[in-house]
Structure 1
């Protein structure tokens, strides 16, 4: 059979999006700068120290978003108001947010001035509240810089000169900066029985390796690229503005994903409500990422040229609702008779559920083969369940 190729170009929306104002405002005052900044890498979140008006804060590095500060910082520094605009998050939910001009923000000794920044009540979202963060460093502020992220050393390097970094052009591809916040997009290659290419957002604020948007999958499913391994009605994790709507989504097995010159085999992913597919911060577990916004190149120095993931998890996903941990999607057909969307998870592996511990710590490790839970169903009495992890060999996938 001759493999067919399908191309998919995505040119709209991102993790946080507004079409009403250009957020590419502000500049770097420093020249010929180079700074190495230590960071915390917690559950695929890159948390870096940021200084505003002499006070240090904790920000998430998120290339899928613009700059954001908390209400508390906004009230403290009283920045100039630019405009109030409607903003959409990854799930499509909208809120009106202030856009302000932050007069000065420091990353190490690098000074960024008059940066367009959204203001949001981060404490209203339990995920951000548990991480104790004060804001986001987004792509609009980084659009004239080069950033290199080394998760093994936990070092973020920021510079304006390629010569100050050890870069190999053979380990790179072009970036396209899209939209009003300079969101970085690259092409990846997908392969099943057929081949495909997809334009994806590099989103360092996203958990996981690769999410495929449901909209994109509807195009790809005309070809034999993905294998459907599960279908379920439920909800995924929280977006910026809270709960996401209940929808039907798919669990998919992608035999091969090639990014730059690294091939990931047996990639398990799920469709999302976002308009775009995304590459997330899990990529950092497999090598060093460099995003050269200034010259529009993406570099990935991989630990290995071929990586077999082969991990279906436990056949369901978890999410938060009303500050409770609940069942999100149930992919495994046998589990559907036991678990349903909205069932509350009371206990995991003998320990009562603590939301912040679950969000910020590895309560369930990748090496765990069995998961024991105590469940409070929407109807009925408490029960306990033990679930074995699935792999390609025992998933029934072809």
Structure 2
């Protein structure tokens, strides 16, 4: 599933009014450098790509920014905004599809690894919004497409090379006939099987791999692109306590023009927030090296693997999230031991094996997440959930 902060900001960006003010914030920032080819120092963990050495407005202090092609404009925290003494260019009331908020927009200069970008449009969000409880990335902002589109970026699961000349890059693979689409997000043509192709958003801020919208699933079934009925799950969206039923489905494969990744699992997302009917997240870089020549709107692809890795769909039938004061069930897969034992989204998890989660008020959230993940490594757990009298034994099973 999507990394929530990136999703939220993508929704904000795509729903904003398209007035002249926002068009200026969203427009391509000015790159001051020429003749460069840099192996970019970047922290990669759980398919999140974080730059740890970003400088703003000439300050000597360094900040941490998430790279997110799915964000149409960049973003900074309110704390950074106040620290730099920035001026609000304009404000707007916006929605993420679930609730409204008022957001300020500004401009600043951004530099990293001796590259300098001027007049980068940014929105301002709270640092707690950028770093949900239990997430350990500790980012100060998001570098969005309005900065990234001025360069050539070559991505894979081990690192990033950024350049202003294609000749400086190696092993970039095959040039795709279809160009990256014009607009405020990087979209390219890809498909789930031979003969089926669609415009798909490349969303580096999404830690997942493949996703289609719910209203597109009927078309996939009509074209016999899915295998079986898929796996349903019930989830809560962010901090919103309403639940929704979603699913993942098995398709024969994903391909660009010639290279096919076989036996793909794709999430089917709710029809909210974003007009794109299909997207790929940073997880695709485990299987392909993607080089985006954004200025010339050209994509190059080098295949790395033959088959999709289904290991994350071998689980206990639920996922969790850490709120400010408790650990709760984030979503539950249908027809699993978890659902059969009446575990439901938003229920508080009191313990996993011998790990007490009933009171986490004094816990460091990053350390707590590591402890939970350690308990979930085995193939059998005992879990206590608020509202369910007895301790439950769950076995890890494959969903596909």
CA deviation after TM superposition for structure 1 residue 218, in Å: 4.0
Indicate yes or no: 2:44 matched with 1:34.
Answer: no
Structure 1 residues 321 and 268, CA gap change in structure 2 (3 angstroms)? same
| CA shift digits 1:353-390 (9 cap, x unpaired) | 67434767992699x5725241314x232513222221
SS at match of 1:328: strand
| Partner residue, 1:376 | 385
| CA shift digits 1:259-279 (9 cap, x unpaired) | 354322222232222433221
CA deviation after TM superposition for structure 1 residue 143, in Å: 1.4
| CA shift digits 1:140-176 (9 cap, x unpaired) | 1111211122432xx3222211111125562545443
CA deviation after TM superposition for structure 1 residue 86, in Å: 3.5
Q: Contact 2:69 / 2:204 at 8 angstroms: preserved in 1?
A: yes
5+ residue gaps, structure 1? 1-12, 393-398
- 1 or 2, which has the higher strand percentage? 1
Counterpart CA distance in 2 for 1:261 and 1:362 is 41
Structure 1 residues 344 and 128, CA gap change in structure 2 (3 angstroms)? closer
Structure 1 residues 243 and 177, CA gap change in structure 2 (3 angstroms)? farther
Indicate yes or no: 2:396 matched with 1:388.
Answer: yes
CA deviation after TM superposition for structure 1 residue 71, in Å: 0.7
Structure 1 residues 148 and 213, CA gap change in structure 2 (3 angstroms)? same
CA deviation after TM superposition for structure 1 residue 62, in Å: 0.7
Question: Where in structure 2 are the equivalents of 1:234-273 lying within 5 Å?
Answer: 234-236=235-237, 238=238, 242-243=239-240, 245-273=242-270
| Partner residue, 1:220 | 220
Counterpart CA distance in 1 for 2:139 and 2:251 is 34
How many aligned positions are there? Answer: 365
Indicate yes or no: 2:191 matched with 1:189.
Answer: yes
| CA shift digits 1:220-239 (9 cap, x unpaired) | 33332223222343325x3x
Match of 1:24 among 24, 27, 31: 27
Structure 1 residues 329 and 224, CA gap change in structure 2 (3 angstroms)? farther
Match of 2:168 among 161, 164, 170: 164
Structure 1 residues 171 and 132, CA gap change in structure 2 (3 angstroms)? same
| Partner residue, 1:143 | 149
Q: Contact 2:383 / 2:394 at 8 angstroms: preserved in 1?
A: no
Structure 1 residues 317 and 376, CA gap change in structure 2 (3 angstroms)? closer
Counterpart CA distance in 1 for 2:146 and 2:395 is 43
5+ residue gaps, structure 2? 1-8, 358-362
Q: Contact 1:229 / 1:252 at 8 angstroms: preserved in 2?
A: yes
| CA shift digits 1:275-321 (9 cap, x unpaired) | 332211112223433222111122232223x2143443326342437
Indicate yes or no: 2:345 matched with 1:344.
Answer: no
| 349-358 vs 124-133, which moves further | 349-358
When the two structures are superposed, what TM-score results if normalisation uses the length of structure 1? 0.81
Structure 1 residues 270 and 348, CA gap change in structure 2 (3 angstroms)? farther
Counterpart CA distance in 2 for 1:141 and 1:289 is 18
Q: Contact 1:122 / 1:128 at 8 angstroms: preserved in 2?
A: no
Q: Contact 2:264 / 2:307 at 8 angstroms: preserved in 1?
A: no
Counterpart CA distance in 1 for 2:371 and 2:304 is 25
Q: Contact 1:175 / 1:186 at 8 angstroms: preserved in 2?
A: yes
Q: Contact 1:175 / 1:184 at 8 angstroms: preserved in 2?
A: no
| 253-262 vs 53-62, which moves further | 253-262
| 91-100 vs 170-179, which moves further | 170-179
| Partner residue, 2:79 | 72
Q: Contact 1:69 / 1:119 at 8 angstroms: preserved in 2?
A: yes
Counterpart CA distance in 1 for 2:178 and 2:48 is 25
